[in-house]
Structure 1
Amino acid sequence: MRVFLTGASGFIGQQLVIALLNARHQVIACTRHPARWQAQYPQVQWIACDYTQDHQPDIWLSRLTNVDIVINAVGIIQETAQQSFEALHTRAPIALFQAAEQLGIRRVLQISALGAEAETYTAYQRSKQLADNALWQLDLDPIIVYPSIVVGRGGGSTSLFSALAALPIIPLIGDGQQRLQPIHITDFTVCILRLIDNWSGRQRLAFVGCEEVRFSDLLQLLRQWLQLPPALSLALPLALITPLAKLNNHLKIGALNRDTLAMLQRGNYADVQPLINATAYTPCPLMQALATQPAVTGDRWQARLWFLRPLLRLSIAFLWIWTGIVSAFLYPTLESYALLAATGVTGALLAPLALYGSALLDFVLGLATLFAYRLRWVVFVQCGLMLGYTILISYGLSELWLHPFGAISKNLPLLVATLILLVLEER
């Protein structure tokens, strides 16, 4: 069958692409940057779509030519300045569903979120629910699936929870007894394929694992999967976690924010029997499913670096910002001019321009690093400046190589750390 898949570049979307291809389906996949994916999956027909703007059914009509099934796997867990829940979860999917109705494509599968089928408590769930309800009212034979936490290599939630599990002391949110029922990505794709092959429309199904686990148990399972030794847990009070989650709505470091914390606290579980009945398949226990894809060195690296990545960016940003402030306002001006003179920079105009211009540049580069703004170019400028400063100072103030505080030699590890930051921050 010809399957039209949106959100194909996401965690779930990529796994569905692989599963659909293995099942001999023809895949038409939507993503914002199809050229990036064409080489990896040449057998897929890639189409450029922009879910932030494609909000009219007419836009989707030509894309759905000769399509048998539509699957909407678009989803973000956190809004950005460019991507909102309303645009990606509500307006674009509704336009897609309406186009499918106009073309008579009756089989539409919507991947929603567990909790969106009931009374919603977060903007994330509400945005999903609006699209679900709009789909249900159309003259179609839809299937709406409500996944719990989908666990698997490359998943956002899995990355966060693995990072927590890899810490020397495992932090728990509150008492760690939140009720969860995660489903492994392999079981998820198997169930989707079975629904496609034996389509029975107008179904709403919770996609959950076969067993309920507590949040603390999930972290221990992931630590075992990472093949790390046992560790103690530390319960963190909600009075501490809640303001941090709210702050992260703005910092956007990882998946923990106000909405995800609220969903975690309410629990994420459901009866698995309807899923078993609909698919004739029972999801595996989580540890058994994880064992089918054993953790490798890269998984342990990612888990252990997950929290160090933002700390590295913040520390490098602080260094540049603080250097700019010290150079402009705190270090004695005459001594600064003396240092510049030793490198050949003198004059009533040139010396102040060099001093305050470089201080301003350092400060701006620090702010850009702090907010990860055009980080690739910022890193290149920073590395160029560090090399330039090192060469210039080595020429005029070579004695600083012997300074016990490492006035010049510290540039070498800083240069490497900055390049590592670029690698860790790039997606």
Structure 2
Amino acid sequence: MTATVAVTGASGYLGSRLCQTLAGIGQVARMGRKIPSARFTFGGGTSAGFFRRHSVTALVHCAWDFTLHKRTDLMARNVGGSIRLMEQARAEGVQTIVFISTISAFPGCRSDYGRAKLAVEAAAHRLGALVVRPGLIFGDQPGGVVGALDALVRTLPVVPLIGNGRQVLYPAHEDDVGALIRRLVVQPALVVPGAPVTAAHERGWTLREILLELAARHGRTVGVVPVPWRSVWLPLKTAELLGVRVPFRSDSVVSVLNQNPSPDFSPTRSIGVPFREFVRSTAGKTCHAQ
């Protein structure tokens, strides 16, 4: 029987790319708030019996509502909705559940995003689900944080550098993240359920290096000016409280400043999916170093 993999957040940046990758192993049920036949929202969940009706054998839960800024809303909707979805999937016979967390989730993390993901990870462990923590995701047409940084270096001659710019981030190419998740869907026994798998290259890049590299990718030279993190965080937080949409969330500033000092890559090595290093630019052209 052909496997059916359900993917939440199928219209988002990472979710849409995962759907393309997972299509190679069977049918993909794309789930999202704007998909009538497979509607999923954090407040309303999905229809009762959805997983059983569609013979879903694996669920990749990638969705996350980034419009929520209050901690109470994050816990009630993103966390509560994620747990209810995974519980329903288990009750309806889904064999493999993969929860897409974040490298920003670790004991002692300070961002609301990381703490909320940790709360879902705890439930995933209880349900025997697999947890994947992607790093800073990049690609040919990046979205998310890298997309926002890329837009800055393309338009500004001088880019504000949060703090001292020495924060170490771990980039992860979108195709490699997809390959890892595909491997786990096919061979879930490769890792212990609930034990987080870091999906990123093991070489960390500082925020300053990433900004300069993104600029070089576009053949540009930009200046970087260190600024106090509060001078970046406060305007963003104020805009969010006023209901103004901003390209970079205030909580992302907290997340960038407080990275996991020692992510564990041992589960990643055991899976055997290589991650390429961050983009390297030469003579105005971009190549990928393995």
TM-score, normalization by structure 1:
0.59
Instruction: Give the length in aligned residue pairs.
Output: 274
TM-aligned CA deviation for residue 68 of structure 1? 0.8
Report the CA distance shift for 1:165/1:269 in structure 2 as closer, same or farther (over 3 A): farther
1:5 matched residue in structure 2: 7
TM-aligned CA deviation for residue 219 of structure 1? 0.5
TM-aligned CA deviation for residue 49 of structure 1? 2.1
Gaps of 5+ in 2: none
**Contact residue 209 and residue 272 of structure 1 kept, 8 A:** no
Q: Which residue of the other structure, out of 124, 134, 140, is the alignment partner of 2:113? A: 124
Q: Which residue of the other structure, out of 94, 100, 104, is the alignment partner of 1:105? A: 94
Say whether 1:252 aligns with 2:245: yes
Larger Rg computed on CA atoms: 1
**Counterpart of 1:232 in structure 2: which amino acid?**
G
Q: Which residue of the other structure, out of 64, 68, 90, is the alignment partner of 1:75? A: 64
**Contact residue 206 and residue 272 of structure 1 kept, 8 A:** yes
Higher relative contact order (CA 8 A, sep 6+): 2
Q: How does 1:17-416 map to 2 (within 5 A)?
A: 17-21=19-23, 23-34=24-35, 46-54=37-45, 59-65=47-53, 66-79=55-68, 84-138=73-127, 140=128, 142-152=129-139, 153-166=141-154, 167-200=156-189, 201-202=192-193, 203-228=195-220, 230-250=221-241, 251-257=244-250, 259-268=251-260, 270-271=262-263, 273-287=265-279, 291=286
Please give the alpha-carbon distance, in whole angstroms, between the structure 2 residues aligned to 1:64 and 1:88: 24
**Counterpart of 2:206 in structure 1: which amino acid?**
R
Please give the alpha-carbon distance, in whole angstroms, between the structure 1 residues aligned to 2:178 and 2:254: 27
What CA deviation, in whole Å up to 9, does each residue of 1:232-279 have, x standing for no partner? Answer: 22112234223223223333311231x211111112564463244232
Report the CA distance shift for 1:99/1:256 in structure 2 as closer, same or farther (over 3 A): closer
Report the CA distance shift for 1:240/1:273 in structure 2 as closer, same or farther (over 3 A): closer
Report the CA distance shift for 1:270/1:76 in structure 2 as closer, same or farther (over 3 A): farther
Please give the alpha-carbon distance, in whole angstroms, between the structure 2 residues aligned to 1:12 and 1:67: 20
Report the CA distance shift for 1:102/1:180 in structure 2 as closer, same or farther (over 3 A): same
Please give the alpha-carbon distance, in whole angstroms, between the structure 2 residues aligned to 1:193 and 1:70: 11
**Contact residue 117 and residue 146 of structure 1 kept, 8 A:** no
Report the CA distance shift for 1:60/1:268 in structure 2 as closer, same or farther (over 3 A): farther
SS at 1:286 equivalent: coil
**Contact residue 57 and residue 93 of structure 2 kept, 8 A:** no
Identity of aligned residues (%): 20
TM-aligned CA deviation for residue 109 of structure 1? 0.3
Q: Which has the higher strand share?
A: 2
